[in-house]
Structure 1
Amino acid sequence: MAKVKASEGNIRQKNKAVIFDAAKKEFVTYGFKGASIKRIAERANIARANIHYYFEDKTDLYRQLLSNIIEVWNRDYDTLSVDKGPKQALSTYIRAKVMHSKDDPDSSRIFASELIHGAPVLNDYLYGDFKDWLQSQVSVIDTWIEQGLMDKVNSHHLLFLIWSSTQHYADFNVQVVAALNKQTMSDDDFEDVVTFLTQLILKGCGIQ
């Protein structure tokens, strides 16, 4: 029975992942109000009834998609550790954020759109789990400052700077490629972004 349940769980995860990928494209293209379950099903190449098997309605799908995005971010970006030191930890963090803008820009755009519209779905999260997580990251940076490993900077604004500068390449990619006179950004372009932002931020924090 345990093997059967595990198999069912894997199938469920795979099916929801397919739906989430299709929903990202739909929400980015049409926004929440304009998005359609019918088109999401067509994008995922599955029956509409299969979506309703996992999600009550469009709102439930949108809410679960946002939760999934945050879950992935919290897992992949929880890299700030006192033991690693500011140079290694911040460099790793910046690279991860830039590469996420390269590999999964739609997640960043959906999250940004939710916040721009007043965070109607994420409001409780922002004043609950997010504040706790953010405080843990701020505490790490403040410890490095107390240890003399970096200049005294405002830890909150440092994180805001990293978020905005890295996610810019996802949220405003159309503007970026136009400014660079390109159709798309190459892997080398994103490596240049990592190098530039890492040097700028570490130097600005007095990290050798």
Structure 2
Amino acid sequence: MVSSRPQTRIQKRNRAAILEAALEVFSLHGFRGATLDQIAHTAGLSKPNLLYYFPSKDAVHGALLSALMDNWLEPLEALKPDGEPIGEIVAYVLRKLEMARVLPKESRLFANEIVQGAPRIMDQIEGPLRDLVDEKARIISGWAREGRIAALDPHHLIFSIWATTQHYADFDAQVRGILSPEGDSHFEQAAEFLEQMYRAALSPK
């Protein structure tokens, strides 16, 4: 393993190459299907060289998930209680959709972990993620009580946002197979649709 001393430029480059390769391999094969040999080959390094930086497959996977959870919390953290309610929620939807566009491998890595029962990040789901979701759910409930948005279950509203945005990363092949888009043009169409749908659903009756 790398010592606690500052890493050299080459060490930083190799570590980054390993994590990038691991993201590719894990997002395609899941944790169980991925091997250190595949990761090393994709990174252009030998397996012993990889083991210098990460002692096990679990260690590589853990480093990826730790960084991923930080990214995953940011869009929801940005939802502010003093903003215009529908605008705040729609902005969150669009932030999540943009993450699906620019971080599809990260989304699939997360989905693979959840499908397996989240054995490596359940403590984070039951801790920081749940705390954040509960906090934002209270804000959304407050807006509903004030009559500023429709009375919708806030937790299931958030779950629906995850489902409708991360779908474009996790089921990318299916979406592209049906739509045959030019590049990422379908994300613009999805953004228009999702904004229209959520504004209609959230508007007070």
TM class, shorter-chain normalised?
A: 0.7 to 0.9
Q: Unaligned regions of 5+ residues in structure 1, if any?
A: none
Residue equivalent to 2:175: 176
Q: CA deviation at 1:32?
A: 1.4
Structure 1 partner of 2:195: 198
Tell me which residue corresponds to 2:20: 21
Larger CA deviation: 170-179 vs 73-82: 73-82
Cα distance in structure 2, aligned partners of 1:45 and 1:207: 56
Determine the C-alpha separation between the residues in 2 that align with 1:11 and 1:178: 40
Q: Which moved more, 1:33-42 or 1:193-202?
A: 33-42
C-alpha separation between the residues in 2 aligned to 1:159 and 1:118? Answer: 20
Q: CA deviation at 1:14?
A: 5.5
Q: CA deviation at 1:148?
A: 2.1
**Identity, % of aligned positions:** 32
Residue equivalent to 2:31: 32
Aligned twin of 1:52: 51
Moved more, 37-46 or 166-175: 37-46
User: What is the distance in 2 between the residues matched to 1:76 and 1:105?
Assistant: 15
Match of 1:135 in 2: 134
Once superposed, what is the RMSD of the aligned Cα atoms? 2.4
- Matched AA of 1:158: L
Contact 2:113 2:119 survives alignment (8 Å) = yes
Q: What is the CA-CA distance between 1:12 and the residue it aligns to?
A: 6.5
- TM-score (norm: length of structure 1): 0.85
**Distance (Å, rounded) in 1 between the aligned partners of 2:23 and 2:99:** 15
Whether the 8 Å CA contact 1:69–1:107 is kept in 2: the answer is yes
Equivalent pairs counted in the alignment come to 201
Query: Could you say if the C-alpha distance between residues 134 and 77 of structure 1 is closer, same or farther in structure 2, counting changes exceeding 3 Å?
Result: closer
Q: Deviations over 1:165-184 (max 9, x none)?
A: 0011111111112222x1x5
Given that residues 86 and 203 in structure 2 are in contact (C-alpha distance below 8 angstroms), is that contact kept between their aligned partners in structure 1? no
Shift of 1:86: 1.7
